[in-house]
């Protein structure tokens, strides 16, 4: 990730699933330490993608991490058919986040 992760900031994300692809995303919501949303889209609202990261306390000193994606717009159905299964890269991200959160550093 390159760029400031802050409300209204623009970041560049290199895809693990396709390292030749860089996404330019806007940080559309930033509520530290609980929620962050990145989004991108096409002109005229033809397609919009949004990825939300949420961390919620579970009450026992642990937290639950949720990462969701939502797609909208007239071209969403067509474009989402071309998106590969990203489950492995999402799990890799979640595992890295867990390791960082549990480390002493």
pLDDT per residue of the chain (105 residues) written in tens, 0 to 9: 899 999 999 999 988 778 898 999 999 999 999 999 999 999 999 999 999 999 999 988 889 999 999 999 999 999 999 988 888 888 988 899 889 888 865
What number of helices (H) and strands (E) belong to the chain? 2, 5
Whole-model pTM: value is: 0.84
Would you state the pLDDT for residue 98? 87
Q: Look at residue 44 in the predicted model and tell me its pLDDT.
A: 96
**Which DSSP letter does residue 3 get?**
S
Q: Residue 105: its pLDDT value, please?
A: 59
Count of CB atoms within 10 A of residue 87's CB? 9
Alpha-carbon Rg for the chain in angstroms: 15
């Amino acid at each position: 990730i390159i760029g400031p992760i802050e409300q209204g900031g623009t970041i560049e994300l290199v895809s693990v699933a396709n390292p030749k692809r860089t996404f330019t995303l806007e940080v559309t919501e930033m509520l530290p330490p609980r929620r962050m949303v990145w989004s991108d889209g096409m002109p005229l609202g033809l397609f919009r993608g949004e990825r939300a990261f949420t961390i919620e306390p579970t009450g026992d000193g642990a937290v639950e991490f949720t990462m969701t994606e939502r797609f909208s717009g007239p071209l969403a159905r067509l474009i989402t058919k071309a998106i590969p299964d990203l489950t492995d890269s999402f799990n890799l991200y979640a595992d890295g986040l867990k390791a960082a959160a549990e480390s002493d550093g």
